[in-house]
Each structure stands twice: as C-alpha cells, then as structure tokens.
Chains A and B, each alone.
Chain A
C-alpha cells in the first residue's frame, strides 16, 4: 500500500449561515477505498468541494499530499495534484461529445490555445477501452444521447484519462441498476489494482460494506471516527452516523380499509412506465419502492398531471379524470410532494406562511379580492402548531429551516388543501432521524383521518415502517405486490432486482 496519499487535518469551512465543517480530518492510501459516510448535512459535500479546489477552507487547515503540505487554491490545482471528482450529477456537458468531456480537464490543464482533435479523440478511446466500454460508447457521440449508466462511464473515463491518483466518487450508484452497480465494483477493483485511491461517498450500507476498506464518519460537520471495515458492523456504523440508537416502528395496519379513492388502469408512457394498474383505498398507505430509475416518480407525476401518459385511465372516487396539470390535480383533490424539496417543493426565499398558503390563497380572499391577512395567519398558525414546525414563526423564510422542518411545511401546504389523495416522493430525503419519525407519524395520522396515501421511497426500512401494502416497481412495471405482514427487505429486493 505504501505511504499515505492524502492527509488533511483541522479543516473547517464557514458559510454566511452555517459552519459546514468544523476541524475535520481525513486520510487515504494509494489503492485504498476509503468511504466517507454521514447523514445529509454532515459536511460530506463541503469536503468534496474543498478537495476538488472548488472552495477554500477556513485559515488553519492543513492539507498534505504525499507528505508535502499544499494548498488547493483552484480546481486546476486539485487536478494537477491528481485529485479528480465524479459528481453525483456527473458534471458532464450534454452539448459536447464524449471525447471532449473525457479530455476536457487535460485540455484545460495543458492550456494550449489550439486543440488537436485527433489526439483528444484517441485519448478518449484509450480511456474508454481501459474501462472496457469502447464498444458501447463512441468518442464522437453527444453526451445528451447517452443513458445515465453510460454517462457515468464517461465521467469515470474522464478521471482515468487525467491520470488521477485519487478519485472521489459522490453517491456513484444512485442512478445505476443492479448490473451496472456490479460493473462499477469491477471498475473500482481495477482502479485499486493501479494504486489509485478512491474516496467513496455514499449512505447505502450494503454498498459501503461491499467496496470500502475503511470508513470515516462525519456528523453535523464534525469528525466522529475512522474505523476499519472488519472492526465494525452495519448497526454500529449507523449509530455512529446518527449519534443515537434508531428504533424503527412498524405502523402497518392490515384491517379493512375504506372505499377505493384512487384507481389507475393500464397507465403507460413510452420511456417512462408501462401497464401500471393500482388501487389506493381511503385511509390506506401504499408504499411504492424499487430501484431509482424504475419509474416510480414518473407514475406519480403522471397522476399529478406533470407528465402526460400515452394510454390508460385514472379514476378518483370512481369517476374517471383527465388531469393535465398540477392545478387540475389540486381541483381533483390530488396532492404530490416531490422528491426535490429545494427546487420543486418549496419557494425557498419566501416565508413559511406564503409557502403553506400558496395553493389555497383563494380561500382567504375577501369580497374585494384582497387577502384577509388575519384569517390567513390564523390558519397558518394552526398548521405550524399541528405539525410542530420549528421555529414556529410563520414569517421565517423557508430557506432558513432544517430539512425536516422544510418537509413539514410542504406537508402542511398540501394538508391545508384537504387533498383526498396524497402522493409523497421520498418523504424523508435529507431529513434527520428525529424529524423522520415525526413525518412518519404525520403520514399515518393523515391516513387514519381518511386520506389515501402513496409513499414512494428507496429506503426499505421506511417502506416497511409506514406502509400497509407495498408495490415494487422494476423497469417501468409493477413487479410485485405485498401486504406488509411479515414482509422483509429481502422479499422486496427479490422483486426489485432481476
């Protein structure tokens, strides 16, 4: 293994609103896979930004590369030191060719004003061949025409092409299918054998234990511990991450439910999902799970009127509906809480009050069409209290809230519309453990009051906790259906994965 490639100590990073990193440390050997783990907000992405030279740490930080102290003052510095990053969204240029995307760092590093396209294409071909992808990907393809898995290969090829000695992989498997993940493992083995250090950032336990040699845990911007894989098990690692014991409660209620609230028949949309039929009863919580990219959100968005299905029928309380936009969904009593809270769920720069009352503004109009602020405030106070949003100040901006409280605001927004059907996409994504349990309770409470709820989640423990019934999707189809009765993660996975 040889000596340490990178060692950082005393790294802090302060932003105007928050201290994202507080004197953390991390080190990595050549040929080692060292996983950085932690919950959302632990400071993982900030450390990535610092190691990639994109942001500078607060003064006092010490960064040693191969025993020499260095500063990473810019992206080029990091690349010259042999550190390259594969971002979760790959950071590729969809409008450019594969070859240019692969060679781009070298193009910039060499800083030659005139480019040699032959050389760039040849190098790209070599890098693709190294990954065994030269047959499926052509250097002159436009990246926007590639599938997600191929795009990731391009991103890896790019890191390989710049002779990286350390590759940071940020949630690399979030968009990959099982087979593609296996392929990624092979590539990682290959990179290890070439003495390349890999910093693997993820929160999926099975993957972490599969690829990593060591783990470093961050919590709330602080360093917690570094452990060898053999010295730790999943439960200990999780409790290191969250800082306390986690108890998952099973809410499943298998009793007879009310009448059918939502019925979907043979819903299909090319390239999205196929032949989806499902029913949700009043008072029932149906969990939909499966791998990312199985088409779960696409189905939800079709019901909510964001996507338009090619064929199939949707019934609400027995009546056929043709919902073509979210505003029509609202009229029909369908609510959808999107996965991306920050960009789709909330208007971050506005107050809790404006966010909660946005869909129901018309309710507060007086005769002149002017909003009755007192009445509006009274009902916002009610929702804030009921869901225990903290701080409970309706004038607080949504962006100032924690993830869990933001999610409560989104929930309040839709509860206030008295929706009959509530679809929640990844309800606790980026939410800390405490708020997670509260959100699960809110979901169950809504169901007990007669709302038909669909919960979409990749987290199987969550699905097993809140659902009465579970649908498993695979490759755009419903691959299995279970009552949540002695259901296990293994049973679900057997349907989700071929």
Chain B
C-alpha cells in the first residue's frame, strides 16, 4: 500500500491534482462564488464539450498523431444535426446523438484514409481537411445560424439528474452534458485499457516500427483512432447544441487548440505513447478552473486568450523538459563505483 502511494506521487497525475488543489484553494479565498455546488456543476457543464472532444483527441495524441480538423468536424456535426432536427421534428435525442456521431465518424474516416493511404503526416492532412470541411459547412449554411429546434431537444439539454440545494435557494442537478461526458470517459478508458485496438494505440505511439513487427495492423489502428476522434467530436457537437439551443457554424474556430492543450495539460505526452483518461479528466478540470478563475478574478476577456496561449506553451515545454531530464539521468553504463 505504501509503495502504491509512493508510486502514485511519482505519476504525472499527482502533480496535476496538486495544481488543481492549489488553484481551487486560491479561488475559494478570492471569491465565495467558486466553491458552490451550482458553480461547479455549471462549469462542468460548459466544459463538457471540450471534455468530450478531448476524449477523442487523447488516442490521437497517444498514437503520436494530431487532429487539427476537430473544430471543423464539430461545426459540421452541429449543422448536420441542426438540419436533421428541423427535417425530422418527430425524432428523438438518441437518434440525434447517433447522427452526430456518425457524421463525425465520416470525417474521421476521411482523415484516417488520407493519412494511411497516402502517408501524409497527420498535421498536414488534418490541416487540409480542416479547411475543406469548414469551407463546405460555410458554403452550405452561408454562415447562417440554425434555430427553432424542437422543444424536446431543449428539455433534453436542460435535464438535470438529482437535485442539490443551491446557495441562492433553488435546486440544481447533474446535467445531460456531464452525463454524456462521464459515459464518454467510461467508454474511452475501457477501449484504451482493455481492448486490443486500444493497446495497439499505445504500441503505435511507443514505437510504430515495433508495432508493425509484432503484427499490429497499424493502418487499421490509425483509421480507428481518427474515426473515434470524429465520433467523439460529433458527440461533443450534440452536447454543445443541447446547451446553446441553436447552431452557429462560425463559433467553433480555435476549438482544436483548446482540446489539444487540455489533453496535453492532462499529462498525455506530445511525443506519443503516454496518456490516460484519468489524466485527461484532470486536464479538463484544470482548464475549467483556469477559465473560471480568470472570469472570477475579473481578468479582461482578451487576456484570457493570452493566458491560454501561455498555458499550452508551458504545458508542452514542461513535458519536453521533464523527458529530457529523465533521459539525462538514464544509466547507460553500469559504472563500477
């Protein structure tokens, strides 16, 4: 048991938890609005969208790839389900979610095929599809909003599980979006830990050539990774539309950065091979606290972008510096002392 605790303190996740604790304590002193049940549930709700996308991005980063096209994919899925609901006002939330995930999966399939069939580096391939898909979405919508979604959709989006008393005297509960995020976490962590393809993702990220040598079908794994990322992004689109109640195809630019920085903050290595769902959840929470803190601390909106930029620079630098330090400490020769 003692050893387990010691091992845990050595893990990256421990450091993130410490940062979260320190920030939370600071924010609690700064504003008594921070540590209230409704604030927490609220910021979890609004950050669940990035959280669900982060779950999709996690396997991509573990495999050593990157997907810049998620911001266009979420716009596409949002437009698809927006139109779907207008056309079929008699359908139901489950069907809408499936349609959203399917549309995301199609984009992921496209990415995966381009990357594996033509050996185009993921950064360039997804930069290309990002432009193409956003272009197509804006061409189709003309940049117009989609509103007037069915009433059952907004009640789905505003549903709360359980009821907790808030300080203001009302009640609140766990929102649909948080539930979706939790389900996403369970599925993703099952895939990564217990499925053949999930282990293949770690293997590819650890050493692609070795993965081929032991018999993993690397191309199939790569396609899976991007399809999964697309599916999660589609799910995130459904979550987002259920919060805001309308579709604005222009609102998602820059989401890819938020998502990637969240996953990197959560301890996934940018060099591949390393990353866990637990870490990503912590990354989401840390990111949420940072954003929430900036608002509570009344930092002007424009500075928030600056802080976000600095945070990702910091996160990726720490990752590299740590790895370099570990490598320098590596014992290469059994020196006779």
**Is A76 close to B, CB under 8 A?**
yes
Is A476's CB under 8 angstroms from B214's CB?
A: no
Q: Determine which of A76, A91, A111, A272 lies in contact with B332 in the assembled complex, contact meaning CB atoms within 8 Å.
A: A272
Q: Within 8 Å CB of B274, what residues of A?
A: 95
How many angstroms from the CA of A92 to the CA of B335 in the assembled complex?
25
Q: How far is the CB of B270 from the nearest CB of chain A, in Å?
A: 14
How many angstroms from the CA of A96 to the CA of B202 in the assembled complex?
8
Name the residue of chain B whose CB is nearest to the CB of A274: B335
Q: Within 8 Å CB of A271, what residues of B?
A: 329-333, 335
Interface residues on B, range: 20 to 34
How many angstroms from the CA of A475 to the CA of B214 in the assembled complex?
33
Q: Within 8 Å CB of A79, what residues of B?
A: 215
Q: Within 8 Å CB of B196, what residues of A?
A: 107-108, 111-115
Is A75's CB under 8 angstroms from B333's CB?
A: no
How many angstroms from the CA of A490 to the CA of B239 in the assembled complex?
74
CB contacts under 8 Å to B, within A274-322, are 274, 293-295, 298
Q: How far is the CB of A266 from the nearest CB of chain B, in Å?
A: 14
How many angstroms from the CA of A52 to the CA of B210 in the assembled complex?
12
Report B185-217 CB contacts with A as 1/0, cut-off 8 Å. Answer: 000000000111101101101110111111110
**Is A54 close to B, CB under 8 A?**
yes
Q: Determine which of A107, A114, A117, A293 lies in contact with B333 in the assembled complex, contact meaning CB atoms within 8 Å.
A: A293
Q: Within 8 Å CB of A272, what residues of B?
A: 332-333, 335
Q: A113-B196, A114-B194, A474-B336 are in contact. Are A94 and B212 (CB under 8 A)?
A: no
Report A87-115 CB contacts with B as 1/0, cut-off 8 Å. Answer: 10001111110001000110111011111
How many angstroms from the CA of A87 to the CA of B207 in the assembled complex?
14
Is B199's CB under 8 angstroms from A115's CB?
A: yes
Is B333's CB under 8 angstroms from A294's CB?
A: yes
Q: A96-B202, A96-B203, A113-B195 are in contact. Are A91 and B337 (CB under 8 A)?
A: no
Is A76's CB under 8 angstroms from B215's CB?
A: yes
**Is A366 close to B, CB under 8 A?**
no
Q: Determine which of A91, A105, A115, A475 lies in contact with B195 in the assembled complex, contact meaning CB atoms within 8 Å.
A: A115
Q: A91-B213, A105-B214 are in contact. Are A295 and B335 (CB under 8 A)?
A: yes
Q: How far is the CB of B319 from the nearest CB of chain A, in Å?
A: 14
Q: Within 8 Å CB of B199, what residues of A?
A: 96, 100, 104, 107, 115
Chain B interface residues (CB < 8 Å from chain A): 194-197, 199-200, 202-203, 205-207, 209-216, 273-274, 329-337
In the A-B complex, the 3 residue pairs with the closest CB atoms: A476-B335, A271-B331, A95-B273
- 29 pairs, A vs B, C-beta closer than 8 Å: A54-B213, A74-B215, A93-B202, A93-B206, A93-B207, A94-B207, A95-B206, A95-B274, A96-B199, A96-B202, A100-B199, A104-B203, A105-B214, A107-B199, A108-B196, A108-B214, A111-B196, A113-B196, A114-B196, A115-B194, A271-B330, A272-B335, A293-B334, A295-B335, A475-B335, A476-B333, A476-B335, A477-B335, A477-B336
